[in-house]
Structure 1
Amino acid sequence: MTTTGIKIILVEPAGPLNVGSTARVMKNFGLTQLILVNPQCDHIGAEAKLMAVRASDILESAIIVNSLPEALIGCKRAIATTGADHDWDAPLETPRDALPWLLEENAQPSALIFGREDRGLSNQELNYAQRFIRIPSSEEYSSLNLAMAVGVCCYELAQQATVSLHETDVAKNIPYLNQLAPVELVESYYQQLELLLLSIGYLFPHTAKSRMEKFRQLYNRTQLKNRELAMLRGILHQVQWALDKKNHAGD
C-alpha cells in the first residue's frame, strides 16, 4: 500500500513554524499533499520556509481552502485527531490501530485532519471524520505540539505502508514459489551439489557421474518446486560456508 493518496489537513494553523515543520516531516515520510483550511499565518513566508528546510516545495504546492468540507472533497475516508474527551460512541484509537484504515485497498484519496494549536477541532468539524485518534502521551503533560503530532502520525503511516507492501510482495510471490522449478535451475542445483560432494569426498571423479544419476532420479521423482529448490540451495550454501570457515581457521 502507499501513502501518496493521503492528505494532511491543518485547520486554521496559526504558527508558520508549525506549518513549516509539518511540511518537513511530511517529506521525511513520503507524504506530499498538504491542505490548509483558512490558515492564520503566512505558509510560504520566511519563518515557514526556515523550518521546512528542503520541503519548501510542499509549502508552495499546499492547497488553501476556506472550510473543512472543501478540504475533504474527493476523500473516501477521514480520520481526525483530538486530545479531548467526548460523550459519543466512537472510540478514541491510537494512530497505530486506526491509520492502517487509510491504507486499505480503494480507500484513497483519504485524509488525516489536525486541529488548531490552541483548541483543536470543534465538535462540528469532528463530525466530518469517521474515526478518531489520540496520540498516547504522559498524563503529566499530554499536550503535543502540532508538528510533533503530525510527525508521529506520518511515521506510523510510513511504517504501516512498508509492512503492507512487504505482505503484498510476499502474497504475489506465493504462486511462483509453488510452481515447479525450471529445468535450468534444477540443473544448476545438481552442479552445485556435485561440486560440494566431490570437495568433501563423498563422490570420487570416476564414480561421480553414476552417483549423480541416482540423485537426479531421486529429485526428479519429487518434482521440485521453486520453494523446495530454494531451501536445498540454501543448505548447500550454508554447508559450503561452514567448510570455508573451518578451513580458514586451520590456516
Structure 2
Amino acid sequence: MLDKLRIVLIGTSHPGNIGGTARAMHNMGLADLALVAPRCEVYGSESHARASGADALVSNAKVYATLEEAVGDCTFVVGASARVRHLPWPMLTPRALGERLPGECAPEAAQAALVFGREDSGMTNGELQRCHAHVHIPTNPDFSSLNLAAAVQVLAYECRLAALGADDAPDTPFGVEWDNPPASHEDLERFFAHLERTLTEIDFHDPENPRQLMARLRRLFMRSHIDSMEMNILRGILGAVNKQSRALARQESHDGNG
C-alpha cells in the first residue's frame, strides 16, 4: 500500500522543509515525493542535510508546475487543511484516513496522494476542491500551527499503521470486488471541464455569476468515487447533450432565417 502513496508539497518556500519531509517519509516507508511550483532550491545542500539519510528521496523528487500535473494519475487525493472552509468538504481525521487507505489503494491501478500546502498560507480553495476529501490534524487550538515536516510525519505514521494492519482491512473502497478501476484525477478534471462547458452551453451555468455551482458539483462527484466505466457513461451523456443542443441551435437559426 505504501508504494501507492505520494506526498505532494505545494509552493514550499524553505529547502529544509523538503529535506525534513523526505526524512519523515523515509521513517515511515514512503518514497514518492512530488513538489508543485517550489519557491526555493530543491536539490541543494540544505534540503539534503535536513533529509538526514533520506537524500535519495530528495534527489528523486519530481517537480511539477501545477497540482493537476502532480496528481493526474491519482485515484484518491486528500488535502491537508487546518482552516474551516466556507464550502464544507468531506473531512477525515488522520486515523480515519489511515483506515480508508487500504481500500482506496487496493485496485491494481490505484494511486493515492496526500497534498500539503504552503508554509505561510496552506492550500487555496481551488486546490482543496481538487481533492476527494480533506484531512485535519486535531492540534491544540491555542497553538495549532504545525511545521510542514511534522504534519507529514503525523499522517505518514497513520498511513504506516494502516499498512501494517492492511490484512484486516476491506479489499476495496466499497467492501466488494469492483468491476472497473476508479477514475483517475486527470479523467475527473477533463470531466469537470466538459461538464462546465455543457452547462454553460445549455444556459444552466453562468460563468460570470457562478454561485458555487461548479464547486458544489465537484464536491458531489468527488464524493461519489466514480469508476472508469461510470466516467465513460457520464462523458457520453454530456456528448449527447452537446449534440442535441447544437442541433436545436441550428434548427432555431434555420427557422429564424426562413
Instruction: Judge same fold: TM > 0.5, yes or no.
Output: yes
How many Å separate the matches in 2 of 1:69 and 1:139? Answer: 32
- Amino acid corresponding to residue 160 of structure 1 in structure 2: A
CA shift at 1:164, angstroms? 1.2
Normalising by structure 2, report the TM-score: 0.62
Map 1:1-80 → 2, pairs under 5 A: 2-80=1-79
CA shift at 1:36, angstroms? 0.1
Contact 1:3–1:103 (CA under 8 A) maintained in structure 2: no
Contact 2:74–2:112 (CA under 8 A) maintained in structure 1: yes
- Amino acid corresponding to residue 8 of structure 1 in structure 2: I
CA shift at 1:81, angstroms? 0.3
CA shift at 1:166, angstroms? 5.8
Q: Percent identity?
A: 34
The corresponding residue for 2:84 is: 85
CA shift at 1:98, angstroms? 2.1
Contact 1:102–1:108 (CA under 8 A) maintained in structure 2: no
Contact 1:11–1:113 (CA under 8 A) maintained in structure 2: yes
How many Å separate the matches in 1 of 2:101 and 2:166? Answer: 12
* Residue deviations 1:148-177 (CA, integer Å, cap 9, x gap): 000000000000110113669xxxxxxxxx
Contact 1:6–1:102 (CA under 8 A) maintained in structure 2: no
Q: 1:167 to 1:92 in 2, by over 3 A?
A: closer
Contact 1:9–1:35 (CA under 8 A) maintained in structure 2: yes
SS at match of 2:8: strand
Which residues of structure 1 form unaligned runs of 5+?
169-251
Which residues of structure 2 form unaligned runs of 5+?
171-258
The corresponding residue for 1:130 is: 132
- Amino acid corresponding to residue 73 of structure 1 in structure 2: G
How many Å separate the matches in 2 of 1:36 and 1:116? Answer: 11
Q: 1:102 to 1:166 in 2, by over 3 A?
A: closer
The corresponding residue for 2:146 is: 144
Normalising by structure 1, report the TM-score: 0.64
How many Å separate the matches in 1 of 2:90 and 2:6? Answer: 22
Contact 1:93–1:134 (CA under 8 A) maintained in structure 2: yes
The alignment of Structure 1 onto Structure 2 pairs a total of residues equal to 167
Q: Displaced runs of 4+ in structure 1, greater than 4 A?
A: none
Contact 1:78–1:110 (CA under 8 A) maintained in structure 2: yes
Contact 1:96–1:156 (CA under 8 A) maintained in structure 2: yes
The corresponding residue for 1:247 is: none
* Residue deviations 1:9-28 (CA, integer Å, cap 9, x gap): 00010111111000011011
* Residue deviations 1:71-94 (CA, integer Å, cap 9, x gap): 011100100000110122424321
How many Å separate the matches in 2 of 1:24 and 1:65? Answer: 21
CA shift at 1:143, angstroms? 0.9
How many Å separate the matches in 2 of 1:99 and 1:74? Answer: 21
* Residue deviations 1:17-56 (CA, integer Å, cap 9, x gap): 1110000110111000000001111121111111101110
Contact 1:76–1:108 (CA under 8 A) maintained in structure 2: yes
CA shift at 1:100, angstroms? 3.0
How many Å separate the matches in 1 of 2:131 and 2:169? Answer: 28
Contact 2:102–2:169 (CA under 8 A) maintained in structure 1: no
SS at match of 2:130: coil
* Residue deviations 1:174-217 (CA, integer Å, cap 9, x gap): xxxxxxxxxxxxxxxxxxxxxxxxxxxxxxxxxxxxxxxxxxxx
Contact 1:6–1:108 (CA under 8 A) maintained in structure 2: no
Flag the structure with larger Rg. 1
Q: 1:167 to 1:90 in 2, by over 3 A?
A: closer
- Amino acid corresponding to residue 78 of structure 2 in structure 1: I
SS at match of 1:51: helix
SS at match of 1:161: helix
